[in-house]
Every structure is written in C-alpha cells, then in structure tokens.
Structure 1
C-alpha cells in the first residue's frame, strides 16, 4: 500500500511538468479539428491522423497547402490566409499530440 501511495504521489507531482511541455491550444484549431480531430486523430474517413507527425513536416505541409504548392482545394480553402505564426502553432500542437490506436469500424 505504501508503494502505491508513493507512486501516486510521484505521478501527481509530475503531471504539471508534463502539461508544461504541451504547447498552448492554437486559436485556429477549430476548423482543423473538424476533420483531423482536436488531438490529431481523424474524425472523418480519408482525413489523415496528424498526432505525433514531425514538426518540420507539418509546418511545411501547411505552408504548401496555403501557398498552393500542394494543390488540394479543400485544404487551401480551410487554411485560407493564415499567418506563418498561426501555421507554426498548429504544427506544434499536432506534433506534440500522442497518436492513439483507433477502434475498428463497426459493420
């Protein structure tokens, strides 16, 4: 019992430190979350999971969608005229998320 109590106390003390590593939730997360989920786990078929993707990859991909280098009209419309700072916040947010296994689809 004593070991369990010590372990629980240790985890309780560590939680604020773990939360401090998480970037702040981006202001522009809403539209992205509609398809990719707030934590980067896809909400609709065909939308990729973004949780845990490399920061540099996400940052470049978002800029490429915005600038038209990646010609995906839905993504370009969703991103619109977003600043580099906003794109960076989104990339940081999704790269910091932990991927989770998804339950198989029900027939």
Structure 2
C-alpha cells in the first residue's frame, strides 16, 4: 500500500511543471534537519514533524511561507529562495518517509 501511495504521489508531482526528484529532495532536506530532524522527526520543540506528511501539505506550506501568506521568523527566510523544483523535491522526500504509530499500553 505504501508503495502504491508513493507511486501515486510521484505521478501527481510529475504532472506539474517538472518531475520531483526523491534523491534531490533528500539532499536538500539536509538543511532542514537542524529543526525538523535528519529523519523528518522534529528536534526543535516548535518545529513540526515532516516525515510522512502528504506531498500536497508540504508543498502548500512551503509555498505559503515563500509568498508570505504564512509567516514564521525562520521559515519565512528559508522558504523565500526555494524554487518550485526545490519545493517539489522536498515535498516528495518528506512524503516518502514511513512513520509507524504505536499505541501506549
């Protein structure tokens, strides 16, 4: 099921102006790791977890920060120089991560 979701996500992104690149997203995410964690699980208390987030969510939020529709002291500065390709690559990378939820006993 996860592989089907990744395939559909990849196809969805491919319909845009340019196809997202998973490995490029991984490389670009190194800059995000300071707050959002190397594995997409936030290490900064005010940063959200990005691992497993839907591609459309990550894409829209990065675009909102880039345009100023959404503001945050750090993200507004970081998102400004991102290209559409950067955003697509990052969104594909984070959406490709699998997150497992376990219930506490």
| TM-score normalised by length of structure 2 | 0.68
Q: Larger radius of gyration, structure 1 or 2?
A: 1
* Structure 2, unpaired ranges of 5+: 8-20
Looking at structure 1, the residues matched to 85 and 38 of structure 2 have their Cα atoms a distance apart, in angstroms, of: 19
Q: Per-residue deviation at 1:80?
A: 2.7
State the partner residue of 1:29.
29
Moved more, 55-64 or 26-35: 26-35
CA offsets per residue over residues 19-45 of structure 1, 9 Å max, x none?
Answer: xx7921424222211110122111111
Q: How does 1:19-58 map to 2 (within 5 A)?
A: 23-26=22-25, 27-58=27-58
The Cα RMSD (Å) is 2.4
Higher RCO structure, 1 or 2 (CA under 8 Å, sep 6+): 2
Deviating beyond 6 angstroms after TM superposition, the runs of 4 or more aligned structure 1 residues are none
Distance 1:100 1:77 in 2: 31
Give per-residue Cα distances to partners, 1:30-83, cap 9 Å, x unaligned.
221111012211111121111111111110111111111102121011223110
Q: Extract unaligned runs of 5+ from structure 1.
A: 1-16, 102-107
Structure 2: how far apart are the matches of 1:92 and 1:25?
10
Find the aligned partners of 2:86 and 2:40 in 1 and give their Cα distance. 16
Whole-angstrom CA distance in 1 between matches of 2:68 and 2:100? 31
Please name the residue that 1:104 is paired with: none
Deviates more, 1:89-98 or 1:24-33: 24-33
